[in-house]
Amino acid sequence: MKNWNLMLSFALSLALTSGILLAQHGKGGGGGGQQGQGQRQGSGSGQMGGQGTMDQTQKGAQDQTRDQTRQQKHDRLHSMATTEQRDQYRTCDQSMTQTRTQARTMARTAKGSSFNVEEARRQQQQLQERLQTMQQDRERLYQGLNEEQRAAAQQRNQNLQQTHERIQNTLQEMNQELANGQPDGKRIAEQARNTEREMNTYQKEFRAMGKDLGLKAD
């Protein structure tokens, strides 16, 4: 009986010891798994950081190439500008300034109490003639450009044409108002102000085109 108790105690001790060893081994394995996972995460973060740096470097190189290409085009267009083209550009710009100034003068005189219908008709006719001359000068300048210059100025030239048409429509409305028996001076003044604003837009776009082509000093 005594021997049986000893054997039972020994068996229980052995089982307890085995259980403890197994538990410790499992915990150590889990720690190793967590360590491995942490290493993988760290490696992934490093790769993402490296990829981001590479993307920024490539973007910087692309921006630099784009700037260099733009500058080369700018220099090439400026080298193509001729003395004749610059003279034509200057003539057009002066005509635009005169037209814009006359529209402002007309707006000021038309809104006053001393509004003179005949004077307003004369000014409207002058504006119409100036606009026509301005259009012809611009078309002559544009047609005198070479193929590369025209391609570079195409969008701005289209914008100018659209603005020209708006000015033309305003002057036609002004002419209709002046054809009435008793034209409204305030309405004539507003139409003249609209003409001045559109002429300002027109001249800014024209000067931007001249700068692109090297016809206007930077």
Q: CATH assignment of 87-212?
A: 1.20.120
Q: For position 60, what pLDDT does the model report? A: 76
Instruction: Determine the average pLDDT of the residues in 191-205.
Output: 97
Structure tokens given for 118: 């005949």
Per-domain residue ranges for the chain? Answer: 87-212
Instruction: Encode pLDDT of 159-173 as tens digits.
Output: 999 999 999 999 999
Instruction: Determine the average pLDDT of the residues in 134-159.
Output: 95
